[in-house]
Amino acid sequence: MSAKLVKELRERTGLGLLECKKALAAAEGDVEKAIEELRKSSGMKAAKKAGRTAADGVVVTRLAEDGSYGIVVEVNSETDFVARDDNFLAFTSKVADAAFADKQTDVAALMEGELESAREALVQKIGENIGVRRIELVNADAGVVGAYVHGNNRIAVLVELKGGDQDLAKDVAMHVAAVNPQVVSPADMPEDVVAKEKEIYTAQAAESGKPPEIIEKMIGGRVKKFLSENSLVEQAFVKDPDVTVGKLVSAAGAEVASFVRFEVGEGIEVEKIDFADEVAAQLNG
């Protein structure tokens, strides 16, 4: 089959490359006939769901026993109900185990073959769109990686420390889950973010009517506060507000190297559809 025909069938059905090739071969290259036959099979039901937004789900981690590396994975479903389904959770575990074993962060590469077949079968069984959204790997560099998963798998964090141990790394990961810092230290904050904040503070200070030198100090103070509130090492530790995360880690002879925080559905835009309109759309075909 030509690549153009396979591409067209994939775009129109959302099915996998191999399944599209087989369907086209059976239909002797007739796309419309291939679609008709696919509609009769279970796979087509999964394809029909592919356009629906999967913004719920779970995040899970896997961590090496020695803390040398860890992975965090987000697998999405359409509803919280499915996110708690045993079959969905079993699929998520299978995905996480495979990613962990291969240190694989490329979702497309990971999902080739058996895992993609398992996903399609699960979509067919459950009736919701399900997708593996993202995977991230954290390797320890002369230190350890710690993990923390909050609530019913809604937030997951990996923290890399230079020095220290897994218990300390887990405590810091718990803090990251709760407070959600943007960066490790003030120096890590992107310049464009700082510039935008400074622009806002400048406009606010200008309305105060104070002398320019006072305004400059006001702006500097507000920027410093912003950086402190959004930098992990500058934040008051959630389990002991009298000490910052930076001092907590430093007292153990360690240093925060990096962190990764996944929260289910963050950044996904969900189209809000009026229930009556949705029912009407279904009735109209």
Number of structural domains found in the chain? 3
Q: What is the number of other CB atoms lying within 10 angstroms of the CB of residue 58?
A: 24
For residues 39 and 100, state if they share a domain: no
Would residue 255 count as lying in a domain? yes
Q: What is the mean pLDDT of each run of 10 residues along the chain (285 residues)?
A: 81 76 89 78 54 82 97 95 95 98 95 91 88 96 94 94 96 97 96 89 80 87 93 97 97 97 85 54 55
For residues 214 and 85, state if they share a domain: no
Would residue 275 count as lying in a domain? no
For residues 236 and 125, state if they share a domain: yes
pTM for the model: 0.76
Range of the domain at 210: 191-228
For residues 171 and 246, state if they share a domain: yes
* pLDDT score recorded for residue 188: 96
Would residue 39 count as lying in a domain? yes
* pLDDT score recorded for residue 206: 76
CA distance 201 to 207: 10
* pLDDT score recorded for residue 88: 96
Would residue 82 count as lying in a domain? yes
